[in-house]
Structure 1
Amino acid sequence: MTVTDRPTIRDAPDHRVPARRGRPGRVNGRQPIGALLVTPYLVFLLVVFAYPLCYAVYISFHDYFFAAPGAVVDRPFVGLQNYRTVLADPAVRRSFVNVGIFLVINVPLTAVLSLTLAGALNKAVRWRTFFRVSYYVPYVTASVAVVGVWLFLFNSDGLVNSILGPLAPDPSWLVSSALAMPTVAVYVTWKQLGFFILLYLAALQNLSKDLYEAAAMDGAGRFASFWNVTVPGVRPATTLVVLLATVTGANLFTEPYLLTGGGGPDGASASPVLIMYQRGIEQGSPDIGAAIGILLVIGVLLLALVERRLVGRDD
């Protein structure tokens, strides 16, 4: 072979990778299987949440009443009249005050207790699994069964008053205008505590142990390590806990309905959802009930926005 017969670079086969035209199976750069998997939940949200909310807004602006299926009736537009009626109702105003008292007690108590107990359960202590399950059992237990236990404890002649003796409040816990809603708030905190403990446990297990070792080397004690390492480290979980406790607390219904016989005494433990049920279903005024619900949604959204700004400002 002569020099001129040697293959040149120009004659070598081209091994360059062809330009990527998009991965197979993708549509506009997205994987359609992901959208397919999300579709059932999206349909669920639209049917169960979005449509009822939009329909409730429609009802709240009309003179709406129940009619026989298929009946064509006139439901005129009344503007803000239903909202004026709601805001002028003393029972409705008191229910919003009641739920405000409930949230002031329940939300901080839930966040503090769940974080403290999660920190204790995150350590290598004996019977750790047993305690984790014990705290979670009330959350998954039917409310009717648990309410029966609390009625036994906090009735006028219940176990708590028997232990307190002359120190027991009179009137008792669930029949006192001043103590009914705080008692309901403590009950809800206890019942839901297991769920929020699990949220904090998941957050604590993602914290690096090096942070605690560094804090110990700097001379920080247990409380200083908890305040300067644990609390900032679980701030995203705290934001979630506060928001979830606020939303679930604002939708309070079962607990006052069962514990205090429907918001007693004299409406001291009535919640907006309970009043909405009484006005809309029992008294046949769904337009009034819808107006209460829309006001509650607006209030919860504003409160959640404020909490997000305050609690999650560093996220």
Structure 2
Amino acid sequence: MSTSVRGTAGAPPAAGTTPAAGSGRTHRPPLIQRILGTNPLGWLFSAPYLVFVIAIFAFPLCFAVYMSFFDYFFAAPGANVDRPFVGFDNYIQAFTDPQVLQSFVNVGIFLIINVPLTVILSLLLASGLNSIVRFRTFLRVSYYVPYVTASVATIAVWLFLFGQNGLVNQILGPLAPSPSWLSNPALAMPSIAIYVTWKGLGFYILLYLAALQNVPTELYESAATDGAGKIRQFMSVTVPGVRPATVLVLLLATITGANLFTEPYLLTGGGGPEGRSASPVLLIYQQGIQQGHPGYASAIGVILVIGVLIIGWLQNRFVGGRNES
């Protein structure tokens, strides 16, 4: 009995509580400490980036949500203009506008082609680059060059290759599609998806190369000892080992694809042919800037953000899984 009493009395206080002097009572930390944590200096170092995120991302997003509920239009600073509240009218118009619906179908086609290609090709190429010894640096730089090159320059090369009288059509001869790749309603968006995959591949290869450095070589040695070949090692060791990087690549490729603008604007002359390569961001630019309907454009943008958040959550849920404790 005495042992039980001593064990209870000598037990350490619960986490986050401090014994009160002269009594067995405990009290919670002050509110400031609960908000800022035990090391408030971290907030000081994080403050510049926090201000950047609020000013560049959070405030514009909140203001876009606000504009989407009004018949909003831009005016000179200080001008007193009427911007009537329209409720969900902008959203209803967006969901019933065939042009907007077609743009979301277009970007869906783009993501279906671009995201799997990006993940598969970047992982395969990163694994190959990680295993070779000769010309490793040269090959890594070669894959990264298109990513850092200006889009205008690379698009000029793409037009030279896939234009109506481009090099690819001359090689294919009678097998060339008619209309040509970027003028064909069925091939315009797939052609853009392949171009974007090629251009951004170097960035995702670097992400996978960094992830491959954290996969223990002992796992490959154990798999080889058990008789696993290269393909089996890749599927059983490499793919699970770089799963966090795969989730990141999926998310970044989805966000980049959903914000597609430059490529259809330059490659197909602003969403042609027949609007089959128009993206939601391109429509936001046309409606908000060119046609002066920023409230309607904001509604399209909010719908796009919600869609990307849903897709990102699904990717993290089904691909990322849960960390094992």
Q: TM-score, normalised by structure 1?
A: 0.90
Deviations 1:44-78 (A, max 9, x none): 11011111111101100011112222111121211
Match in the other structure for 1:122 = 130
User: Which residue pairs with 2:27 in the alignment?
Assistant: none
In structure 2, the partner of 1:68 is 76
Is residue 177 from structure 1 mapped to residue 185 from structure 2 by the alignment? yes
- 2:211 corresponding residue in structure 1: 203
Aligned to 1:244: 252
Paired residue for 1:309?
A: 317
**Residue aligning to 1:23:** none
Over alpha carbons, which structure has the higher Rg? Answer: 1
CA distance, structure 2, for counterparts of residue 66 and residue 312 of structure 1: 42
Q: How far does the alpha carbon of each residue in 1:246-305 deviate from its partner, in whole angstroms, 9 at most, with x for none?
A: 011000000100111101111110000001110111000001100000000000001111
Counterpart secondary structure, 1:74: coil
Which residue number in structure 1 is paired with residue 14 of structure 2?
Answer: none
The answer on 1:278 being equivalent to 2:283 is no
* Gapped regions of structure 1 (runs ≥ 5): 1-26
CA distance in 1, matches of 2:185, 2:199: 22
Question: In the alignment, which of 157, 178, 194 is matched to residue 149 of structure 1?
Answer: 157
Q: 1:90 aligns with which of 93, 98, 102?
A: 98
| Distance in 2 between residues matched to 1:32 and 1:127, nearest whole Å | 48
Asked if residue 291 in structure 1 is aligned to residue 299 in structure 2, the reply is yes
Q: Distance in 2 between matches of 1:219 and 1:280?
A: 61
In structure 2, distance between residues paired with 1:43 and 1:68: 27
Structure 1 residue 97: Cα displacement: 0.2
Q: Secondary structure at the match of 1:157?
A: coil
Q: For the residues of structure 2 that align with 1:46 and 1:68, how far apart are their CA atoms? A: 25
Q: Structure 2 unaligned segments of length 5 or more: list them.
A: 1-32
* Partner SS state of residue 122, structure 1: helix
State how 1:34-73 maps to structure 2 within 5 Å: 34-73=42-81
**Count of residue pairs brought into register by the alignment:** 289
Aligned-residue identity in percent: 68
Q: Distance in 2 between matches of 1:220 and 1:29?
A: 49
2:254 aligned partner, one-letter code: T
How far 1:33 moved relative to its partner? 3.8
- Paired residue type of 1:152: F
Once the two structures are TM-superposed, the CA of residue 32 in structure 1 deviates from its matched residue by 4.0
* Alpha-carbon distance in 2 for matches of 1:127, 1:31: 47
Q: Distance in 2 between matches of 1:30 and 1:142?
A: 46
Q: Does 1:112 align with 2:112?
A: no
Moved over 3 A (4+): 27-33
Post-superposition CA distance 1:95-117 (Å, at most 9, x none): 00000000000000000000000
Rounded Cα–Cα distance in structure 1 between residues aligned with 2:38 and 2:151? 44
User: One-letter code of the match for 1:273?
Assistant: V
